[in-house]
Amino acid sequence: MSSADFKELGLSEPLLKALKDMGFEHPTEVQIRAIPHVLNGNDVIVKSKTGTGKTAVFGISLLQLTDPKEAGPQCLILEPTRELAVQVDKDLKQMARYVEHTSTAVYGQHNMDTEIRALENNITIVIGTPGRIYDHIQQDTLKTGNIRYLVLDEVDRMMDMGFIDQVRRIIRTLPVPEDRITLLFSATIPEEIAGLCRQYMKDPVSVDIESDTLTVDSIEQIYYRVEPDEKRTQLNRILLMERPKNCLIFANTKRAVNQIQNFFTRKGYASLALHGDIPQNRRLKNIEQFKKGECNILVATDVAARGIHVDDLALVINYDVPLDHDSYIHRVGRTGRAGNDGRAITLVTGEDIMTLYAIEEHVGRLIPEAELPADEELEEIRAEADAWIKANSIKIQPPKNKKTSGSRVSSNKKKTYSKPVQARKEAAQIPDKAAPAAQSAWKTAERQDADDNEIPVYSAEDILKANGLSKKPSLFTRIFGKFVKKIE
């Protein structure tokens, strides 16, 4: 669309003016595609994720289609949460700035008398949560006889929250589908919602906004509650349970990215890092290596990982809960792409829980909590975990142009890099030649921060032992052990 955009949708001048005040210069994709159908008087099913601009799709359309002088309420909007009800009411009031339409929100824990007084005025649009709306209908404080427009917003969320029966009860009190327009918005349309559409909508038009950031259908999202001082230990245990083909781990800071990578190095896992302090060409190389599967663990900050597209990424882990809600969408949207299934795991400390709730609100779905893996569960999958560790362990390359004999580090002897050497290594993203955990990968109580500034050097034998792969020197150790050398 051209810059005339909203005008081309056929909206009235006062509405265009209000949109301009709101800073809406061009319609979003969902607005371009859905508003004409709504204005045309169709029932519409809009499949689109949260944050795409759905509120204006129904808000602007309802304001254009209704006459505030007629008896109300003429429009009923159902929202899954009180916050959304309040937000939508606020948005509608802004859109209605230059017209006479009125709106009010009703929701649980709000003063019932205040709501009743508001409803006594000839309100055009009522927004509310299903429970409270139904209370008002039962008490006859909300009359449904004039409702010609019904909006069911965030229906998948309402279903997750167990509101669907209430929604059905409300719909049964409204004029029949032939006498009303029903608009349904949902990020996903599972069978139960499709059934609702068949039952309560008439010849609906479907508008499906493909999202390249959050394909909620195909991404399984869970979170684990963790203690702040055991995040890395739990990260390791989760990785061993998941054993992903490849995995992108997000942290909120460069420091955290470095710490995680150091931790992996100590465990003997090969990993790559991406953050703003890593030179651009090295970052590009790391992305390429990750994409090619040369290294299957990538630890990154949001900014550095922006725009990475790996078509078959199996797992995203939010080591830190993102502070910006959209980052959550961008992060988890790295997986489950191109029709593949994906998983997204978030580690949540007590301090983060409210942020997670806000993210749930933002993405429009509940993220279920999962139980951290127990020792017995890890013991059960030990053989598979060992195989995964082996597949992802640091590959030891023979050093070029250097004598290798006699350079092997004895199995229990650790050496710490000097700080400048370590800094150079981190900047260049050179993985340690060898590294390990002192005990088996899942039984170690990790000292998390104390040793972040040390990268000990271990032999290949150490790596295998530490991960429980070999009790005595194996062929692998015999062949490659001699290549492990001290780093000056």
- We find the least distance from the C-beta atom of residue 80 to ligand ADP, in angstroms, to be 12
Stretch that binds ligand ADP, among 51-59, 158-166, 300-308, 335-343 (CB under 6 A): 51-59
According to the binding rule CB under 6 A, does residue 322 interact with ligand ADP?
no
- We find the least distance from the C-beta atom of residue 221 to ligand ADP, in angstroms, to be 18
- Asked if 341 and 311 count as a contact pair (C-beta separation under 8 A), the reply is no
According to the binding rule CB under 6 A, does residue 36 interact with ligand ADP?
no
Whether the bond between 73 and the residue before it is cis, its omega within 30 degrees of 0, is yes
| CA neighbor of 140 nearest in space, from 120, 122, 156, 157 | 120
> Computed from CA positions of residues 307, 308, 314, 317, in that sequence, does the dihedral angle turn out positive or negative?
negative
- We find the least distance from the C-beta atom of residue 47 to ligand ADP, in angstroms, to be 11
Q: How far is the C-alpha of 435 from the C-alpha of 437, rounded, in Å?
A: 7
Give residues 16-35 in contact with ligand ADP (rule: CB under 6 A): 23-24, 26-28, 31
Residues 6+ apart with CB under 8 A from 201: 43, 45, 177, 182, 184
Token pair, residue 194, equals 């499709």
- We find the least distance from the C-beta atom of residue 132 to ligand ADP, in angstroms, to be 20
Token pair, residue 253, equals 């800071």
Q: How far is the C-alpha of 298 from the C-alpha of 307, rounded, in Å?
A: 14
- We find the least distance from the C-beta atom of residue 353 to ligand ADP, in angstroms, to be 22
Identity of the amino acid at 415: K
Identity of the amino acid at 46: V
| CA neighbor of 241 nearest in space, from 384, 445, 96, 70 | 384
- We find the least distance from the C-beta atom of residue 37 to ligand ADP, in angstroms, to be 16
According to the binding rule CB under 6 A, does residue 51 interact with ligand ADP?
yes
Give residues 163-202 in contact with ligand ADP (rule: CB under 6 A): none
Q: What is the dihedral of CA 421, 426, 429, 433, to 10 degrees?
A: 50
- We find the least distance from the C-beta atom of residue 20 to ligand ADP, in angstroms, to be 10
Instruction: Out of 15, 38, 47, 52, name the contact with ligand ADP by CB under 6 A.
Output: 52
Instruction: Out of 29, 36, 39, 53, name the contact with ligand ADP by CB under 6 A.
Output: 53
Give residues 230-289 in contact with ligand ADP (rule: CB under 6 A): none
Name the H helices within 45-154.
54-65, 82-95, 112-120, 130-139
Stretch that binds ligand ADP, among 50-58, 272-280, 339-347, 432-440 (CB under 6 A): 50-58
Contacts with ligand ADP: how many residues (CB under 6 A)? 13
- We find the least distance from the C-beta atom of residue 23 to ligand ADP, in angstroms, to be 6
- Taking the least distance from each CB to ligand ADP, the nearer of 57 and 345 is 57
Q: Under the rule (CB under 6 A), what is the footprint of ligand ADP?
A: 23-24, 26-28, 31, 50-56
